[in-house]
Amino acid sequence: MIRTNRLCRTTIAALGFAFSFVAFLISRPSTGAAQTIVTENGVRVVHNKKGGLWDDNPKVVIELVQTIGNVDTEDENLAFSSPLDMAVDAAGSIFILDSGNQRIQVFGADGKYLRTIGRRGQGPGEFESLSSIAVDPKGNLHVLDDAQKRIQVLTPRGEVLKTVTTPKLRLDRLRLLASGSMVTRSYEAFGIRGVSVEKAQPKLVKILGPDLEVIREFGEPFDYGDEMTDRIGNSWYFDIDGEDHICLCFVYQNRV
């Protein structure tokens, strides 16, 4: 759970086989000479001074609030295998993507186990390679199955509402905007070596419509001059806040 001087979304961090709620109490820093804000290729970028805006005194306090799951648990509903993603609905219900077991574990806001959605298989409501989950404004689940190249839209109880195939798209993570559009990261931008100057470089971020048509692309990958370095250096994680801002974290570039 994240608490700041603005209303923020609730998140859960996964560590090993356990999911932990972490509360961050963040004091908003003063802006000024310590920061430079510019627009690069249509993307707003905030540059902090060397050493970070807070230097060696980060104004962040981490407090463990609650843990769901345990590596030594005897309760199979709490025994996760490679939990890759999670989502929280408006009521606070928690949906954990238990990819190793090809299922979605559902918990209440208090962390109490409620039910299991899905199982291994190729039929409706079944999964082969779970990779991402998101909740839309109606509370329905959008679940990406990488191996089966499809996104299944499910009710919170697990009933299948819709299935959309993704044979031409390489997706591994998805998030939803309030409009219903989908935000995803582009595999193609992870390795840009060999792309001729005559062709447009692949963008980092894709926004897709209801039928997975590309509505918009943005974000230029950085060319490090080496294919392997390009793949590592341009890799990133992302999420969306309550105001539909897309937050990108470039792990190896040390920037958000």
**Location of structure tokens 């820093």:** 29
Indicate the range of 14-23, 57-66, 67-76, 137-146 predicted with least confidence.
Answer: 14-23
**Location of structure tokens 């100057």:** 197
Query: What is the predicted pLDDT for the residue at 82?
Result: 92
Alpha helices (runs of H) in 73-184, residue ranges in sequence order: none
Burial of 149: CB neighbours in 10 Å, binned 0-12, 13-18, 19+: middle
* pLDDT tens column, 86-99: 999 999 999 999 99
247: its two tokens: 């937050």
Is residue 187 very low, low, confident or very high in pLDDT (cuts 50, 70, 90)? low
Percentage with pLDDT > 70 across the chain: 79
Average pLDDT score, the chain: 80
- For the residues 99-119, what does the mean pLDDT come to? 96
Percentage with pLDDT > 90 across the chain: 44
pLDDT above 50 (res 17): no
Please enumerate in sequence order all residues whose Cβ is within 8 A of that of 218, keeping only pairs 6 or more positions apart, or say none: 41, 42, 43, 203, 204, 205
* pLDDT tens column, 201-225: 678 899 999 888 899 998 888 888 8
What are the CA-CA distances from residue 55 to residues 49, 52, 253, 254, 255 (Å)? 9, 5, 18, 14, 15
Query: Structural domain boundaries of the chain?
Result: 1-70, 80-167, 180-256
Q: CATH classification of 80-167 is 3.30.450.20, yes or no?
A: no
* pLDDT tens column, 116-158: 999 999 999 999 999 999 999 999 999 999 899 999 999 999 9
